[in-house]
Amino acid sequence: MGTVTTADGTEIFYKDWGQGQPIVFSHGWPLSADDWDNQMLFFLAHGYRVVAHDRRGHGRSSQTADGHDMDHYADDLAAVVEHLDLRDAVHVGHSTGGGEVAHYLARHGETRASKAALISAVPPLMVRTEANPEGLPKSVFDDIQAQLAANRSEFYRALPSGPFYNYDQPGVESSEAVIANWWRQGMMGGAKAHYDGVVAFSQTDFTEDLKQIGIPVLVMHSEDDQIVPYVASGPKSAALLKNGTLKTYRGFPHGMPTTHADTINADLLAFLRA
């Protein structure tokens, strides 16, 4: 574990375990590198070097007032990659982290990367526009910001208790430990970073980023994702990528790397070995 200081003085916390080909994990909003615990232990055991960082304003990284946008997120990821001199890296991003990975690859190039995976990821664009009618209304994201500002702790209990893990669906058994861990990670970060981050993940258009990416990319998305709608994301991203493969799931939630880790890990491993 360590930190790297970016050009604007932000300290980015990261974990770096093992030897071998590096896999770099980018987490979702408003969580931390801890959300990848299962994947990091799994791939470490399979001989990979695993790296995960806390996004600025999240987890153990600096709670900066500004810079909570995809340009800074991508630059911070680049700072970690360059600090550790990672090469032939596989970049795996979940949710907001998927946007971070796509923007990083387009903004900083692919010379240090070999493959990528976008899991339940926000690209191409989450918010509804004339050109993106399948997206969610802006009012949905305004409401998230309002709830966060009113009572962040309460909101960070409600979201994982319901749609994030599909615990509000018939026949789905909830886990208090999973909910508590989500809340713990969220409350570690800064309210300002999380508030601004809603705009970053919902209103950034990644269409041109996806078109630029040439390395193989596995797009993993569930038709039953209640946070990032499948019709507005997975198939569209795969179609925009030069070398994209879509893996569709049924019955899995947005947080499927946690609830269905065995399946997700196995599918990722098969993609890495292909």
Task: Give the 3-state secondary structure percentages of the chain, helix then strand then coil, rounded to 5.
Answer: 45, 20, 40
Positions annotated as catalytic residues are: 95, 225, 254
The tally of CA atoms less than 13 A away on the side-chain side of residue 38 is: 16
Two structure tokens written together for 248: 């569709």
Look at the block and give the residue holding tokens 């596989």: 90
CA 50 to chain centre: 16
Q: What is the DSSP-derived secondary structure letter of residue 24?
A: E
Task: Single out the residue of 232, 238, 186, 230 nearest to residue 210, CA to CA.
Answer: 238
Where are the alpha helices (H) located in the chain, listed in sequence order? 37-45, 70-83, 96-108, 138-150, 152-161, 176-188, 191-203, 207-212, 234-240, 256-259, 261-273
223 by DSSP, 3-state: which? coil
